[in-house]
Structure 1
């Protein structure tokens, strides 16, 4: 609990720092990417709240350690599918992180900057649905990264690459609308956009819930499908360090 509270404090502090940077940017370029200052600041704190639940900086799964220790062999013979029970475990972790680490940045943003909130129950419901879908997409991506240990025996390089891609392309740092032209269209179509940018857009009212959920569901299905194929391959190749 102490680590979670420290994480909530850190998320809030970095949220304030990010907010001032975005305020300076939007004051210099009013209306940039279709956002005003208030929308940009709200985007800042809502994405800060996503860091813990979605593990936007990577990790959150115990699979790499279990693969290295050999415990994965026991996991593969359990009656419940490895991918399914790992997803259930991660959803529980995400709910806890949302309450412990996600609320604090939002409160800090509301107190210090007066961030906006969804207009009504329908928008709140749509946001929560998209938030859940974003967690599933994030899990599906992190699950693939974790299983890479079976072939690489060390996930540190893959984890660093994953963190860089997620940080830059999920909308965690800046709205993806800032990417220009064709590059922006490509970035907004990638799976990382389904993690932070998509639920943030629904929260802000700049995107409709239905198309956003469909976009997230498409990537969730694709990545979970790849995860299922990778799990099947793991049954034929489990690397246990030390023997």
Structure 2
């Protein structure tokens, strides 16, 4: 366990060093937060309350989800494993005396914490200056939200890890990452809150793993999640365990059957 904690700590330190990049990311997320908020407000003008959410909830959701983009890996661009498979440097990683999947989880966890520390709070604070916000005051509600974010992060990592492993067979995972991003961006609720979609479509999308990454944590924070915290955690953990298991099986297959680039 100590080696994984050390890997996560060093990864965190490395990502905290790129503060100019983080500042640019904050500016970008904030600008897109404004754009998304104006779009949602136009929708909410047609109907003041949609599935229990009012305009303030919509504004909060917009900036909250912008804050989650970096730490939750919403863009599904894989992990740092993908480029190392393409270059053949993964051979060194395969020889490390550690569990391969856990090693990359530790590195990505350090990245996620660093991104959260540098990029998450500023967009929400700026949004609160210009739009009505409905952030709850209950510490228990925030604790439940953070638990759901932790589970959602595991789902996100599992998906991105699977995407990265594709490079063992295709030599380039970026095509799969682009497809997964397009699907996941819609299914997670980043384009439009799932609660604002037609009921039948909402019911289907709420069953996808991407819902556990963005929509479900937000719904738990607002207190509108069907089934409450227990359902949210059970749903997310089920997907996380399933996807982590799939990643472990695929890792084993790659070790047995695949020749690393460069011999």
TM range (shorter): over 0.9
The CA deviation at 1:163 is 0.8
Is structure 2 residue 233 aligned with structure 1 residue 213? yes
Hey, what's the Cα distance between the residues in 2 that align with 1:8 and 1:203? Answer: 22
Name the structure 1 match of 2:85: 67
Name the structure 1 match of 2:222: 204
Name the structure 2 match of 1:25: 43
What is the aligned counterpart of 1:13 among 28, 31, 55?
A: 31
Name the structure 2 match of 1:2: 20
Structure 1: gaps of 5 or more residues: none
Name the structure 1 match of 2:5: none
Name the structure 1 match of 2:256: 236
What is the aligned counterpart of 1:227 among 240, 247, 253?
A: 247
List 4+ stretches of structure 1 deviating above 6 A. Answer: none
The CA deviation at 1:242 is 4.6
TM-score by length of 1: 0.95
Is structure 2 residue 123 aligned with structure 1 residue 105? yes
Hey, what's the Cα distance between the residues in 2 that align with 1:193 and 1:40? Answer: 17
Name the structure 2 match of 1:95: 113
Count of residue pairs the alignment pairs up: 243
Hey, what's the Cα distance between the residues in 1 that align with 2:197 and 2:245? Answer: 29
Structure 2: gaps of 5 or more residues: 1-18
Hey, what's the Cα distance between the residues in 2 that align with 1:114 and 1:183? Answer: 28
TM-score by length of 2: 0.88
- Check whether the contact 2:52–2:224 (CA below 8 A) recurs between aligned residues: no
The CA deviation at 1:237 is 3.2
Name the structure 2 match of 1:155: 173
